């Protein structure tokens, strides 16, 4: 009886550890990595100065800053970046259907 309880406890611990590990390993969306890279001061938003320091890449935030900054507070937050990328995806999809 004691052996069964011990085995059950070990299995429970192993399964809960695997589940927790799997949750921690979920990939972040592409824009999440870009956002963290550009938010150099870690305040949760990207300033115009931070965007100006971006190295040339496929997604040039410097050139699109004003279009992305929906509330015109001179910062881009994660929601604004997400909304902009979604709107651009919808535009590309609509253009492809025509």
Q: What is the predicted pLDDT for the residue at 76?
A: 95
Dihedral Cα 6, 10, 15, 21, nearest 10 deg: 150
Residues constituting the chain: 98
The share of the chain scoring above pLDDT 90, in percent, equals 40
In a domain, 43, yes or no: yes
Q: Mean pLDDT across the chain, nearest whole number?
A: 81
Q: Is residue 10 part of a domain?
A: no
Whole-model pTM over 0.85: no
| Residue 72 located in a structural domain | yes
Residue 66 lies in a domain: yes
Per-residue pLDDT of 50-89, as tens digits, reads 999 887 777 788 889 999 999 999 999 999 999 999 999 9
Domain assignment of residue 46, yes or no: yes
Number of structural domains the chain divides into: 1
Half-sphere exposure of 74 (CA within 13 A, CB side): 2
- Identify the domain containing residue 79 by its residue range: 34-96
Query: CATH number of the domain that 53 lies in?
Result: 1.10.238
Q: Is 29 helix (H, G, I), strand (E, B) or coil?
A: coil
Whether 65 is covered by a domain: the verdict is yes
19 within some domain: no
């Amino acid at each position: 009886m004691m052996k069964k309880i011990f085995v059950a406890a070990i299995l429970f611990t192993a399964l809960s550890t695997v589940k927790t590990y799997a949750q921690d390993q979920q990939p972040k969306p592409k824009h999440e990595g870009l956002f963290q890279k550009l938010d150099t001061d870690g305040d949760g938003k990207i300033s115009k100065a931070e965007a100006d320091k971006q190295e040339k890449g496929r997604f040039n935030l410097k050139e699109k800053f004003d279009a992305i900054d929906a509330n015109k507070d001179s910062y881009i937050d994660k929601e604004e970046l997400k909304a902009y990328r979604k709107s651009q995806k919808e535009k590309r999809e609509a253009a492809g259907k025509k």
